[in-house]
Amino acid sequence: MKSAKNYAVVVLFLIAAALSVVAWRQHGELEGFRASALSSDERADLQKRIWDSQKKVREMEHTLAKGGPPGPTPSGAADSAPPSSGAPAGGLASTLLSRMNNPEAQRLMAEQIRSQIEKRYAALFPKLNLTPEQLSKFEDLLIDRQTAPMDVLSAANDQGVSNPQDFMKLVESAQADIDGQIKTALGDANFGQFQDFQQNQAAQNMVNQLKSNLTKTDTPLTPDQSAQLAQLMAHSSSPSGGGTPFGGAGGPQITPDIITQSQGFLSAPQVQALQQIQQQQQTAQRLRQIMLQGSASAPTGP
């Protein structure tokens, strides 16, 4: 009989990855508000939430690397975060898998994701000229792609998959298969529009983050700069079928080439702010490598 603890490794990896995304986003939120009108108490609360998320990520890293309960957190500001519950890993895996297989939970999740998809692709749907049946099928496939990691996790419980890297390969394979179904359902021309929309939207989201970070500074982004940067990022990103393996919207990696080209139309402070976002991406990628490979020697960089 396979140990439930093996399956829990994958569950813990999912949770740690999700928490790392939360911590990264909260860090970006804090950077964007440093020069805003937030009170000192509000800044302190946001910083504490970042520390709490980072502490949970460290605990998950330790569990994944050592196969045991998290060790003590190094002294520092994060020490004020509440301690881990210490629940058995097998119990956590069993509970999560059971709740994911609940029909009502699956229905509510699908409804929530469909609502998000309808908002996200509201500008694209009319351009595809799909029949109501085709549009419904397209939305169903997008939902399947978003929920693929949870479906794979349930299947991994039956197949004995316990290695996070193997799990991610299964997720990528499942999402690639759904991408193929989307292409078949839409046709080549519409699928091309879908890919372009994905790239442009992801690039615009990244520009919006930089714009938010610069709003209260002396060098806010101008409309012309925003358009140039969005175009640069869209052309530098590869086609995507619809987001990250954890259901979030994918975004272009800020490469050294993007930094170099952006210097032609961004000021020095604006480029520095873009480099800060690049560093946040590298930190998130580094954490993902540690959780996947369990190695402290994996290279950093975009």
Mean pLDDT of the region 247-251: 47
More confident: 9 or 262: 262
Q: What does the pLDDT read at residue 190?
A: 95
Could you tell me the pLDDT band of residue 244, with boundaries at 50, 70 and 90? very low
| pTM of the model as a whole | 0.62
Average pLDDT, the chain: 73
Q: What does the pLDDT read at residue 91?
A: 57
pLDDT tens, position by position, 43-65: 566 556 555 655 555 555 455 45
More confident: 43 or 26: 43
Cα 94 versus chain centre, distance: 24
DSSP of 67-117: SS---PPPSSGGGGSPPP----HHHHHHHHHHHHT-HHHHHHHHHHHHHHH
More confident: 256 or 298: 256
Mean pLDDT of the region 267-294: 87
Could you tell me the pLDDT band of residue 294, with boundaries at 50, 70 and 90? low
